[in-house]
Amino acid sequence: MLWTLISLFFLWCAFHEVHASLVAPAGFDFPSPVSKPYLALVLALAALFAWPPLHTWHFQRFLSGKATELADNHRAKVHCNTVFDTMLDPEMLFAGHANPRTGEIAIQHPWCDTLRSYLNHPERATSQELESLDLFTHESMHVRGELNEALTECEAVQRNYRAARLLGVPDETARENALQYYNINYQQRGKIGGMQAAYYSDQCAPGRAMDEHLSDSTWATP
Ligand SMILES: [Zn+2]
Protein backbone atom coordinates (compact mmCIF):
# COMPACT_ATOMS: atom_id res chain seq x y z
CA MET A 1 0.00 0.00 0.00
CA LEU A 2 2.81 2.39 0.93
CA TRP A 3 4.68 1.61 -2.33
CA THR A 4 1.50 2.23 -4.34
CA LEU A 5 1.00 5.62 -2.68
CA ILE A 6 4.62 6.66 -3.34
CA SER A 7 4.25 5.52 -6.96
CA LEU A 8 1.03 7.53 -7.32
CA PHE A 9 2.79 10.59 -5.88
CA PHE A 10 5.50 10.41 -8.59
CA LEU A 11 2.82 9.89 -11.24
CA TRP A 12 1.12 13.03 -9.95
CA CYS A 13 4.46 14.92 -10.24
CA ALA A 14 4.71 13.79 -13.88
CA PHE A 15 1.13 14.85 -14.57
CA HIS A 16 1.77 18.22 -12.92
CA GLU A 17 4.86 18.80 -15.05
CA VAL A 18 3.03 18.01 -18.31
CA HIS A 19 0.01 20.05 -17.27
CA ALA A 20 2.23 23.09 -16.52
CA SER A 21 3.70 22.84 -20.04
CA LEU A 22 0.24 23.01 -21.61
CA VAL A 23 -1.54 25.60 -19.48
CA ALA A 24 0.01 28.97 -18.58
CA PRO A 25 0.00 29.52 -14.80
CA ALA A 26 -2.02 32.51 -13.50
CA GLY A 27 -0.19 35.79 -14.22
CA PHE A 28 1.98 34.27 -17.01
CA ASP A 29 1.41 34.54 -20.76
CA PHE A 30 3.06 31.26 -21.71
CA PRO A 31 3.23 27.80 -20.14
CA SER A 32 6.65 26.66 -18.95
CA PRO A 33 8.36 24.05 -21.19
CA VAL A 34 8.57 20.48 -19.99
CA SER A 35 11.82 19.48 -18.26
CA LYS A 36 12.54 16.15 -19.95
CA PRO A 37 15.14 14.91 -17.42
CA TYR A 38 12.75 15.71 -14.54
CA LEU A 39 9.84 14.00 -16.32
CA ALA A 40 11.98 10.93 -17.04
CA LEU A 41 13.11 10.80 -13.41
CA VAL A 42 9.65 10.98 -11.85
CA LEU A 43 8.24 8.43 -14.34
CA ALA A 44 11.13 6.07 -13.59
CA LEU A 45 10.52 6.46 -9.84
CA ALA A 46 6.78 5.86 -10.33
CA ALA A 47 7.55 2.61 -12.19
CA LEU A 48 10.16 1.57 -9.60
CA PHE A 49 7.74 1.94 -6.67
CA ALA A 50 4.90 0.31 -8.61
CA TRP A 51 6.99 -2.84 -9.17
CA PRO A 52 6.82 -4.53 -5.69
CA PRO A 53 2.99 -4.25 -5.37
CA LEU A 54 2.53 -5.42 -8.98
CA HIS A 55 4.88 -8.33 -8.39
CA THR A 56 3.00 -9.35 -5.22
CA TRP A 57 -0.37 -8.93 -6.96
CA HIS A 58 0.79 -11.22 -9.77
CA PHE A 59 2.12 -13.85 -7.32
CA GLN A 60 -1.14 -13.79 -5.32
CA ARG A 61 -3.17 -14.36 -8.51
CA PHE A 62 -0.87 -17.24 -9.43
CA LEU A 63 -1.21 -18.81 -5.96
CA SER A 64 -4.99 -18.28 -5.92
CA GLY A 65 -5.37 -20.23 -9.18
CA LYS A 66 -3.21 -23.13 -7.95
CA ALA A 67 -4.89 -23.21 -4.52
CA THR A 68 -8.27 -23.43 -6.26
CA GLU A 69 -7.04 -26.47 -8.24
CA LEU A 70 -5.71 -28.10 -5.06
CA ALA A 71 -9.03 -27.41 -3.31
CA ASP A 72 -10.92 -29.36 -5.99
CA ASN A 73 -12.22 -26.12 -7.54
CA HIS A 74 -13.45 -24.53 -4.33
CA ARG A 75 -12.53 -20.94 -5.15
CA ALA A 76 -9.44 -19.78 -3.22
CA LYS A 77 -8.15 -16.24 -2.90
CA VAL A 78 -4.62 -15.96 -1.54
CA HIS A 79 -3.39 -12.79 0.15
CA CYS A 80 0.27 -12.29 1.06
CA ASN A 81 0.19 -10.21 4.24
CA THR A 82 2.63 -7.32 4.59
CA VAL A 83 4.42 -6.72 7.91
CA PHE A 84 1.60 -4.30 8.83
CA ASP A 85 -1.16 -6.74 7.85
CA THR A 86 0.53 -9.39 10.00
CA MET A 87 0.87 -7.06 13.00
CA LEU A 88 -2.85 -6.23 12.82
CA ASP A 89 -3.93 -9.85 12.21
CA PRO A 90 -5.57 -11.47 15.30
CA GLU A 91 -4.06 -14.76 14.10
CA MET A 92 -0.55 -13.38 13.73
CA LEU A 93 0.94 -16.29 15.68
CA PHE A 94 0.00 -18.69 12.88
CA ALA A 95 1.95 -18.69 9.60
CA GLY A 96 -1.33 -18.62 7.73
CA HIS A 97 -5.06 -19.15 8.02
CA ALA A 98 -7.98 -19.82 5.71
CA ASN A 99 -11.71 -19.28 5.71
CA PRO A 100 -13.50 -22.26 4.10
CA ARG A 101 -16.69 -20.18 3.65
CA THR A 102 -15.10 -17.34 1.65
CA GLY A 103 -12.06 -19.20 0.27
CA GLU A 104 -9.76 -16.48 1.59
CA ILE A 105 -6.26 -17.59 2.51
CA ALA A 106 -3.96 -15.22 4.40
CA ILE A 107 -0.26 -16.00 4.38
CA GLN A 108 1.66 -14.08 7.03
CA HIS A 109 4.81 -12.11 6.42
CA PRO A 110 7.41 -13.31 5.35
CA TRP A 111 6.05 -16.73 4.26
CA CYS A 112 5.16 -15.65 0.71
CA ASP A 113 8.80 -14.58 0.26
CA THR A 114 9.92 -17.96 1.61
CA LEU A 115 7.63 -19.74 -0.87
CA ARG A 116 8.93 -17.57 -3.68
CA SER A 117 12.54 -18.40 -2.87
CA TYR A 118 11.60 -22.11 -2.69
CA LEU A 119 10.19 -21.85 -6.21
CA ASN A 120 13.36 -20.10 -7.38
CA HIS A 121 15.58 -23.05 -6.37
CA PRO A 122 13.47 -26.12 -5.41
CA GLU A 123 16.46 -28.43 -5.83
CA ARG A 124 18.16 -26.64 -2.90
CA ALA A 125 15.04 -26.32 -0.73
CA THR A 126 15.69 -25.53 2.92
CA SER A 127 13.57 -27.01 5.70
CA GLN A 128 11.78 -23.67 6.08
CA GLU A 129 11.09 -23.46 2.35
CA LEU A 130 9.49 -26.93 2.51
CA GLU A 131 7.36 -25.63 5.39
CA SER A 132 6.18 -22.79 3.12
CA LEU A 133 5.11 -25.30 0.45
CA ASP A 134 3.19 -27.31 3.05
CA LEU A 135 1.64 -24.14 4.47
CA PHE A 136 0.26 -23.32 1.01
CA THR A 137 -1.12 -26.84 0.54
CA HIS A 138 -2.48 -26.97 4.11
CA GLU A 139 -4.47 -23.71 3.75
CA SER A 140 -5.79 -24.94 0.37
CA MET A 141 -7.11 -28.04 2.15
CA HIS A 142 -9.05 -25.80 4.56
CA VAL A 143 -10.63 -24.08 1.53
CA ARG A 144 -11.46 -27.55 0.22
CA GLY A 145 -13.61 -27.89 3.37
CA GLU A 146 -11.56 -29.68 6.02
CA LEU A 147 -11.44 -28.06 9.47
CA ASN A 148 -9.80 -30.71 11.66
CA GLU A 149 -6.09 -29.78 11.80
CA ALA A 150 -4.68 -33.30 11.84
CA LEU A 151 -6.81 -34.33 8.83
CA THR A 152 -6.03 -31.08 7.01
CA GLU A 153 -2.32 -31.54 7.53
CA CYS A 154 -2.42 -35.17 6.39
CA GLU A 155 -4.35 -34.20 3.25
CA ALA A 156 -1.64 -31.59 2.63
CA VAL A 157 1.18 -34.09 3.20
CA GLN A 158 -0.31 -36.36 0.54
CA ARG A 159 -0.75 -33.45 -1.90
CA ASN A 160 2.56 -31.58 -1.45
CA TYR A 161 3.94 -33.44 -4.47
CA ARG A 162 0.92 -32.37 -6.56
CA ALA A 163 1.18 -28.81 -5.17
CA ALA A 164 4.88 -28.48 -6.00
CA ARG A 165 4.26 -29.71 -9.54
CA LEU A 166 1.34 -27.29 -9.97
CA LEU A 167 3.64 -24.47 -8.85
CA GLY A 168 6.11 -25.40 -11.58
CA VAL A 169 8.65 -27.58 -9.73
CA PRO A 170 10.14 -30.34 -11.94
CA ASP A 171 8.57 -33.76 -11.31
CA GLU A 172 11.47 -35.57 -9.62
CA THR A 173 12.40 -32.60 -7.40
CA ALA A 174 8.73 -32.14 -6.45
CA ARG A 175 8.50 -35.75 -5.22
CA GLU A 176 11.79 -35.52 -3.31
CA ASN A 177 10.72 -32.26 -1.65
CA ALA A 178 7.29 -33.63 -0.69
CA LEU A 179 8.78 -36.85 0.68
CA GLN A 180 11.41 -34.93 2.63
CA TYR A 181 8.68 -32.83 4.23
CA TYR A 182 6.77 -35.98 5.23
CA ASN A 183 9.79 -37.93 6.46
CA ILE A 184 11.46 -35.12 8.39
CA ASN A 185 9.33 -32.02 9.07
CA TYR A 186 6.05 -33.88 9.59
CA GLN A 187 7.55 -36.58 11.83
CA GLN A 188 9.19 -33.86 13.96
CA ARG A 189 5.74 -32.42 14.70
CA GLY A 190 4.79 -35.67 16.38
CA LYS A 191 7.94 -35.62 18.50
CA ILE A 192 7.70 -31.93 19.49
CA GLY A 193 4.20 -32.43 20.92
CA GLY A 194 2.28 -29.50 22.46
CA MET A 195 0.47 -27.37 19.88
CA GLN A 196 2.30 -29.15 17.04
CA ALA A 197 0.76 -32.47 18.09
CA ALA A 198 -2.67 -31.24 16.92
CA TYR A 199 -1.28 -31.30 13.37
CA TYR A 200 0.13 -34.81 13.59
CA SER A 201 -1.29 -38.31 13.54
CA ASP A 202 0.45 -41.67 13.35
CA GLN A 203 -2.48 -42.70 11.11
CA CYS A 204 -1.10 -40.36 8.45
CA ALA A 205 1.03 -42.95 6.66
CA PRO A 206 0.84 -45.21 3.59
CA GLY A 207 -1.90 -47.82 4.12
CA ARG A 208 -3.09 -46.30 7.44
CA ALA A 209 -6.51 -44.78 8.21
CA MET A 210 -5.75 -41.32 6.77
CA ASP A 211 -4.28 -42.59 3.49
CA GLU A 212 -6.54 -41.30 0.69
CA HIS A 213 -4.84 -43.60 -1.86
CA LEU A 214 -4.41 -40.72 -4.32
CA SER A 215 -2.88 -41.83 -7.62
CA ASP A 216 -0.37 -38.95 -7.36
CA SER A 217 0.09 -39.16 -3.60
CA THR A 218 3.42 -37.97 -2.20
CA TRP A 219 4.12 -41.46 -0.96
CA ALA A 220 2.74 -43.43 -3.96
CA THR A 221 5.41 -45.38 -5.78
CA PRO A 222 6.07 -43.68 -9.14
ZN1 LIG B 1 -4.88 -25.33 9.67
Is position 159 within any domain?
yes
Is position 103 within any domain?
yes
Q: In which band, very low, low, confident or very high, does the pLDDT at 205 lie, cut at 50, 70 and 90?
A: very high
User: What is the mean pLDDT of the segment spanning 24-51?
Assistant: 90
167 and 85 within one domain: yes
Which residues are bridge partners to 63 per DSSP?
Answer: none
Q: In which band, very low, low, confident or very high, does the pLDDT at 219 lie, cut at 50, 70 and 90?
A: very high
User: What separation in Å is there between the alpha carbon of 185 and the centre of ligand 1?
Assistant: 16
User: What is the mean pLDDT of the segment spanning 48-59?
Assistant: 94
**DSSP of 44-103:** HHHHHHHHHHHHHHHHHHHHHHHHHHHTTT---EEEE--HHHHHH-TTTTSSEEEETTTT
In this predicted model, what pLDDT tens digit does every residue of 146-179 receive, in sequence order?
999 999 999 999 999 999 999 999 999 999 999 9
Residue 182 vs residue 31, higher pLDDT = 182
pLDDT at 141 exceeding the cut of 90: yes
Is position 65 within any domain?
no
Task: Return the percentage of the chain with pLDDT > 70, whole number.
Answer: 100
User: What separation in Å is there between the alpha carbon of 37 and the centre of ligand 1?
Assistant: 52
Is position 118 within any domain?
yes
| pLDDT of amino acid 148 | 96
User: What separation in Å is there between the alpha carbon of 92 and the centre of ligand 1?
Assistant: 13
Residue 212 vs residue 94, higher pLDDT = 212
User: What separation in Å is there between the alpha carbon of 138 and the centre of ligand 1?
Assistant: 6
163 and 102 within one domain: yes
User: What separation in Å is there between the alpha carbon of 35 and the centre of ligand 1?
Assistant: 55
Query: In whole angstroms, how far apart are CA 162 and each of 139, 153, 180, 199, 210?
Result: 14, 14, 14, 20, 17
107 and 23 within one domain: no
Task: Return the percentage of the chain with pLDDT > 90, whole number.
Answer: 79
Is position 60 within any domain?
no
Question: How far is residue 172's CA from residue 88's CA, in Å, rounded to a whole number?
Answer: 40
pLDDT at 1 exceeding the cut of 80: no
pLDDT at 20 exceeding the cut of 90: no
Residue-range definition of the domain harbouring residue 39:
1-55
Is position 158 within any domain?
yes
pLDDT at 145 exceeding the cut of 90: yes
pLDDT at 27 exceeding the cut of 90: no
Exposed/middle/buried for 72, CB within 10 Å: 0-12, 13-18, 19+? exposed
User: What separation in Å is there between the alpha carbon of 168 and the centre of ligand 1?
Assistant: 24
| pLDDT of amino acid 132 | 98
| pLDDT of amino acid 41 | 96
140 and 48 within one domain: no
Is position 62 within any domain?
no
pTM here is: 0.89
79 and 51 within one domain: no
Q: How many domains does the chain have?
A: 2
Q: In which band, very low, low, confident or very high, does the pLDDT at 24 lie, cut at 50, 70 and 90?
A: confident
78 and 150 within one domain: yes
Averaged pLDDT of the chain:
94
Q: Where are the beta strands (DSSP E) in the chain?
A: 77-80, 96-99, 104-107
Running DSSP on this structure, what letter comes out for residue 27?
Answer: T
